[in-house]
Amino acid sequence: MVQGAPPEYYPQPVCVTCKYNENDCLLNRGIPCLGPITADGCGSVCPNHGVPCFGCWGPAEGANLTSEFYLLKEKGFDVDAIKKRMANYSGSKLHTFFEQLKKESK
Ligand code: SF4
Ligand code: SF4
């Protein structure tokens, strides 16, 4: 930035590049991946090598955390495992969502 080259902005999620790279989706192999809610820019380097995205680039624009939660749940992942996996995204909104979910399941 000092040299007048601001970082590039990638609004789309990692899944977009992952699909361009013709990877088989890890979710279909029973591996929880945060590609749908993570900002692109890394070239989907982890899924390219069979490793799930854990969200190091931060949330994609408009990332829908609750949809990701239900997607992972639908794929059969354990709720506690999902919460751990999504810990990087544990802002107050997500915390409130998990608390509400706990109340509903009682
Ligand atoms: S492997 Fe991950 S990044 Fe690739 S399409 Fe599936 S969920 Fe998205
Ligand atoms: S964990 Fe980071 S480097 Fe790996 S796919 Fe996700 S955003 Fe890219």
* pLDDT tens sequence across 72-84: 999 999 988 888 8
Domain range holding 82? 14-105
Say how many Å lie between the CA of residue 8 and the centre of ligand 1. Answer: 22
DSSP code string of the chain: -TTS-PPPP--SBHHHHHHHTTPPPGGGGT----GGGBB--S-SHHHHTT-----TT-BPTT--HHHHHHHHHHTT--HHHHHHHTGGG--HHHHHHHHHHHHHH-
- Is residue 8 in a domain? no
For residue 72, the model assigns a pLDDT of 94
Instruction: Tell me the average pLDDT of the chain.
Output: 88
Say how many Å lie between the CA of residue 84 and the centre of ligand 1. Answer: 18
In this predicted structure, the answer to whether residue 100 has a pLDDT above a threshold of 80 is no
- Is residue 54 in a domain? yes
| Closest atom of ligand 2 to CA, residue 44 | 5
- Is residue 33 in a domain? yes
Using most ligand atoms within 8 A of CB, pick from 21, 34, 38, 40 the residue to mutate for ligand 2: 38
pLDDT digits (tens, 9 = 90+) for 7-35: 788 889 999 999 999 999 999 999 999 99
| Closest atom of ligand 1 to CA, residue 14 | 3
Q: How many structural domains does the chain have?
A: 1
- Is residue 21 in a domain? yes
